[in-house]
Amino acid sequence: MTTTPRPYQNSKKHKFLRQELRNNSTLAEKILWQYLSKKQVNKFKFRRQHGIGSYILDFYCPIARLGIELDGKVHEDVIRQEYDLEREEYLKEIAKIRIIHFDNEDILYHTEAVIEEIQRQLENRSK
């Protein structure tokens, strides 16, 4: 008897891709990870490049069911926007995960404001 993995589990078939994404992080991802790692933000644990179903989130906090996505130029493409919309719908409706987005530029130039917004989202997680 095979069991279907829960939607929030990392899929083994995406393990290599997740490793590649972690090893080739953008500057914005590296900067944000410096703040999110080691429970530095409100003592919440975050994971980097975490798989949810067939999708991979840039950052994910399992306790708060909060995903953080960093959007660069690639997200300006119309086809990519359609994929992002489908992905967001799945994460919200099926996996019950709230997603917040930040532009890479926000991370690079307004890091403190981004961290403050993440803190607000964590504090309001049950609302």
* pLDDT tens sequence across 100-111: 999 999 999 999
Q: What is the mean pLDDT of residues 5-24?
A: 60
Q: Does 5 have pLDDT greater than 70?
A: no
Q: Which has the higher per-residue pLDDT, 96 or 20?
A: 96
Residue 43 CB coordination number (10 Å)? 9
Contact 28, 70 (CB under 8 A): yes
76 DSSP assignment = G
Q: Does 7 have pLDDT greater than 80?
A: no
Domain 12-123 part of CATH 3.40.960.10: yes
User: Domain residues of the chain, as ranges?
Assistant: 12-123
Burial of 44 by CB count in 10 Å (0-12 exposed, 13-18 middle, 19+ buried)?
Answer: middle
Predicted model pTM = 0.82
Q: How far is CA 51 from CA 23, 73, 122, in A?
A: 15, 22, 20
Q: Which has the higher per-residue pLDDT, 5 or 85?
A: 85
Amino acid 98: pLDDT: 95
What percent of the chain has a predicted confidence (pLDDT) above 70?
76
Contact 92, 86 (CB under 8 A): no
Q: Does 8 have pLDDT greater than 70?
A: no
Amino acid 11: pLDDT: 61
Write the pLDDT tens digit of every residue in 61-100: 999 999 999 998 665 667 778 888 999 999 999 899 999 9
Tell me how far apart the alpha carbons of residues 108 and 125 are, in angstroms, rounded to a whole number: 25
Q: Return the residue matching tokens 């995406």.
A: 14
What percent of the chain has a predicted confidence (pLDDT) above 90?
60
